Structure 1
Amino acid sequence: MSAGTPGILLVLDGWGHAAAGEANALTAAATPYLDGLLATCPTVLADASGTAVGLLPGTVGNSEIGHMVIGAGRPIPYDSVLVQEEISSGRMRSNEALTEVLKGLAASGGALHLIGLCSDGMIHANVQHLQELLRIAAQFAVPRVRVHAITDGRDVADHTAAAYLGLVDTFFAEAGIGEVATVVGRGYALDKSGNLELTEKVSLAIVDGKGEAISEPQEALELTQRGDEWVPPCVVTSADGRPLGAVQDGDAILFTNFRSDRIQQLADDLHTWLAGRRVTFLSLAQYDTKASIPALVHRSDAGGGLATVLGAQGVRSVRIAEAEKFEHVTYYLNGRDSNVVPVEEHVRITGDRAPDYTVRPAMNIDRVTEAVISAARRDDVPLVVANLANIDVVGHTGHFDATRQAAEHTDRAVEAICGAAQATGRWVLLVGDHGNAEKMLTDATDGDGWPYGGHTTNPVPAVLVPAAGQKAATPAGPATLADIAPSVLALLGLAPEPRMTGRPLW
């Protein structure tokens, strides 16, 4: 292809590839335009999970690592991998920050509060990490450990919280220490929309023991009408009705999620609530919080990617996404760099009301599409980067029909964007960041599976729609998300950054 052609990088969030079947909402959808692109344009399936992107083998991909690798042009050792290495090697037991806090608790009689998602979806957390943290607390003779369990229903199948809470009980028995103090769904605890009303309910349960009173953790699951994700804030009480694990002066809090984006709103809120108390804060991995919270494990450098080259060459780009995915096309695509880049313009699309994705699967895709087309018509913008969030965000509800409709809305948006690209002499590179909507049921050997809204290990399509008059061949050999940044740069007529290990596909 000729060098120096402007283009559009279009991430279809949650756009995975799998054979047609009753669990595949993408193949069930009427998507004639995308079907036509896949049949006629240069297309390759790219690995978007496991070691190909810097995750543990067999681990599902996610939007955070997907966009980081798309931008970096190389696999990035993810925080989950770094934490697991510290645990597997035994180094976590001698972690200076952790051992100092645990020694202090043992001497003062304070409690350790562990707050995090109790599932093994490996997107935000791994409940197995609790096992080692409890062992270490017991090793240092911490007198009390209180677990504030966040139930899932998104990264793993719904209605599995009971099994995970049961697993935590086995960890307590093995370590000889630990009790669940609160139980709450991730819809409350991991909100990142800025809805502090939800977050404050969780903070009140943890800090002051205010919430639905229960005598056993499993009772919390009986109080939800909307699955594991929306278990209301529940407080385990003792026989005399007092909360088992309200935070006291001299206690310590350790957040056990390894991914920052959904826990940080709660972390900052708790830090504010406890500002007048002597409480020590730690996080298992590095968080992007406003408060200064020391991390036990620090993250990998994700810089030196697409944004670095564009900035060095003075190439203007416009980044467009709905609020749910805005950080992904800016902060994460730029290698977790929050600095303002002079050659970037950011367009954040927000809704005018609280979303119910099952009844509004279109989300705000029309406004995203309009913004992409508007940017594509500008001669001073060589690159437009956008995320179409519908397939992933609606897919997370586990609602098959709504996800099918989300795919159909996405198909129409892609058709409009590609039409504008052809009219303005641009190529379009479409790519998924991880799988999701191609598997909407859990595997089942004895009947139908549960509705599933989590991510998958399936590959994702990468499709090049050439500009008018341009030619491109189907890439040879395997591909990964690390190949996307080198491909974009090659299409723009720019050399890759030396740290990129991916190859141009076109």
Structure 2
Amino acid sequence: IPALKAIIAKLKATGGTCHMMGLLSPGGVHSHQDHMVALAKVLSAAGISVAIHAFLDGRDVPPSSAKGFVEKFEQDIAPLGRVSIATVSGRYYAMDRDTRWDRVSKAYTAMVDGSGPRGATALEAITASYAENITDEFVLPTIIDGFEGMKDGDGLLMANFRADRAREILTALVDPAFDGFVRDRKVDFCCRLGMSEYSAALSGFMDVMFPSDELEDTLGEVVSRNGLRQLRIAETEKYAHVTFFFNGGSESIYDGESRILVPSPDVATYDLKPEMSAPEVTDKLVAAIGSREYDLIVVNFANPDMVGHTGVLSAAKIAVETVDNSLGRLEAALKKVGGVMLVTADHGNIEVMKDPKSGQPHTAHTTNLVPFILVNGEVASLEVGQKFALSNGCLADVAPTILTLMGLEQPPAMTGHSLLTLAQAGEDRATA
């Protein structure tokens, strides 16, 4: 990989350490610890010292599983030499995406200054946290004995491949104009490298191992090209999903695309406010529907995922009730204007709140089939007395189905197909 060879050359020239950070987990959602092992092998073989800043998971994997993952990781790096874990930090601190800079600053201070709680080993730090009933996600940024902080001439390597939860900590580390919190010290890195492109702003400061593919003919692009108006709306926790991710990993805004961001509640964890900002999002949605200004509205209700990640069943019930109430309000608003609604998800979570094997709270995503529900199907039919329903399919079929409802032609780049069918009695949903 040319970009990796380049940072090796720069680190050899400065004699600096490569600080590799990332989610040390086999979850595969933001990263994979096997990638971190592979990168460490390449760097170590080139004579580069590697300090690992391990972000602990507990969301995409069981909440108290980091100890086993760290044990496996340490076994994998033991033969390498020059590679050691320098800090451990729960992702709550190191991978925030809601501008909770008080959290991010703790991870920053531990990594940059080597300042904060200390542990003799990574495993000892995790074990001590478990003794205090602190699960992986919430482990305080902890410095492992022997690490004294970053220094000028060192290199930075981010092993996460997903963008949204890598941006804040990277911005604090590499952006000279960052002002989210006061940095007592800034590191003059000789090189900065990421697994992928995290944002247009960060690309100005970092090299990339695997540049993003440019996706063409996304749903939003097709809608825009046809001169139609669209709205993207979500609270902070899911805003990137209806904008950056929904636009194929692009930060550009299409012609005719409007956006509404509703702040997520300022709480430590969302089981403390499982309603989140769904009522406020719904208020704005009802107004947008009533305005008849938009041909397509895309919304993401954060509750089922974010509250599902807490593993707290009582809060999950409130979260589901809240979203159910919001969907009822949207259905009523759509009926007034002759609109149609599709309800779906791209993964499961809140439907499993307890691990059937371990009995622990279940905090991770699931691969269960998700619903695909058509509301007001009779409105979409051109013939009186007919009603559309949906056949079963996959996520690739969602965009073609929407285009069919909007009367737009499906581009060749979309390989799925419309799931619209004429309904039988009582039929209005499918699985995807």
Q: Scaled by the length of structure 2, what TM-score is found?
A: 0.88
1:497 paired with 2:411, answer yes
* Among candidates 44, 66, 72, match of residue 138 of structure 1: 44
CA distance in 2, matches of 1:196, 1:462: 37
Residue 245 of structure 1, CA deviation: 5.0
CA distance in 2, matches of 1:100, 1:356: 41
Match of 2:201 in 1: 290
Distance 1:210 1:323, change over 3 A: same
For the 8 Å contact 1:421–1:467, the answer to whether it is kept is no
Match of 1:328 in 2: 241
CA distance in 1, matches of 2:39, 2:187: 27
Query: After superposition, what is the alpha-carbon deviation per residue over 1:402-439, rounded to whole angstroms, capped at 9, x for unaligned?
Result: 11221111111111111211121111111112111122
Residue 290 of structure 1, CA deviation: 2.6
Match of 2:299 in 1: 386
Match of 1:466 in 2: 376
CA distance in 1, matches of 2:200, 2:85: 25
* Among candidates 267, 277, 280, match of residue 354 of structure 1: 267
Distance 1:439 1:392, change over 3 A: same
* Among candidates 219, 240, 243, match of residue 124 of structure 2: 219
Residue 369 of structure 1, CA deviation: 1.4
Residue 275 of structure 1, CA deviation: 5.3
Query: After superposition, what is the alpha-carbon deviation per residue over 1:436-478, rounded to whole angstroms, capped at 9, x for unaligned?
Result: 112223342xxx43211111111211111125554344444x5
Match of 2:338 in 1: 425
Residue 316 of structure 1, CA deviation: 0.8
Query: What's the secondary structure of 1:206's corresponding residue?
Result: helix
Range moving further from structure 2, 432-441 or 483-492: 432-441
1:264 paired with 2:264, answer no
Query: What's the secondary structure of 2:192's corresponding residue?
Result: strand
1:152 paired with 2:57, answer yes
Match of 2:15 in 1: 109
Q: Which amino acid aligns with 1:367?
A: E
Match of 2:424 in 1: none
For the 8 Å contact 2:56–2:137, the answer to whether it is kept is yes
1:173 paired with 2:87, answer no
* Among candidates 74, 87, 94, match of residue 189 of structure 1: 94
Distance 1:419 1:438, change over 3 A: same
Range moving further from structure 2, 171-180 or 160-169: 171-180
Query: What's the secondary structure of 2:272's corresponding residue?
Result: coil
CA distance in 2, matches of 1:456, 1:351: 24
Match of 2:228 in 1: 315
CA distance in 1, matches of 2:106, 2:166: 14
* Among candidates 394, 402, 414, match of residue 480 of structure 1: 394
CA distance in 2, matches of 1:289, 1:149: 25
Match of 1:344 in 2: 257
Query: What's the secondary structure of 2:28's corresponding residue?
Result: coil
Residue 225 of structure 1, CA deviation: 4.2
Match of 1:369 in 2: 282
1:456 paired with 2:366, answer yes
Q: Which amino acid aligns with 2:247?
A: N
Match of 1:247 in 2: 150
For the 8 Å contact 2:156–2:189, the answer to whether it is kept is no
Match of 2:115 in 1: 210
* More relative contact order, 1 or 2 (CA 8 Å, 6+ apart): 1
Residue 331 of structure 1, CA deviation: 1.9
Q: Which runs of 5+ in 2 are unaligned?
A: 176-182, 421-432
Range moving further from structure 2, 321-330 or 352-361: 352-361
Query: What's the secondary structure of 1:454's corresponding residue?
Result: coil
Q: Which amino acid aligns with 2:142?
A: C
Q: Which amino acid aligns with 2:63?
A: D
* Among candidates 277, 287, 306, match of residue 188 of structure 2: 277
Range moving further from structure 2, 161-170 or 460-469: 460-469
Q: Which amino acid aligns with 1:164?
A: F
Superposition RMSD in Å: 1.9
Residue 148 of structure 1, CA deviation: 0.6
Distance 1:252 1:194, change over 3 A: same
CA distance in 2, matches of 1:467, 1:172: 57
Query: What's the secondary structure of 1:297's corresponding residue?
Result: coil
CA distance in 2, matches of 1:289, 1:377: 35
Q: Which amino acid aligns with 1:271?
A: V
Range moving further from structure 2, 174-183 or 310-319: 174-183
Residue 107 of structure 1, CA deviation: 5.0
Q: Which amino acid aligns with 1:481?
A: L
Match of 2:423 in 1: none
Q: Which amino acid aligns with 1:353?
A: D
Distance 1:107 1:359, change over 3 A: closer
Pairs within 5 Å for 1:28-39: none
Query: After superposition, what is the alpha-carbon deviation per residue over 1:286-327, rounded to whole angstroms, capped at 9, x for unaligned?
Result: 211633211111122233111111111111112221111112
For the 8 Å contact 1:112–1:253, the answer to whether it is kept is yes
Residue 175 of structure 1, CA deviation: 2.4
For the 8 Å contact 1:156–1:453, the answer to whether it is kept is yes
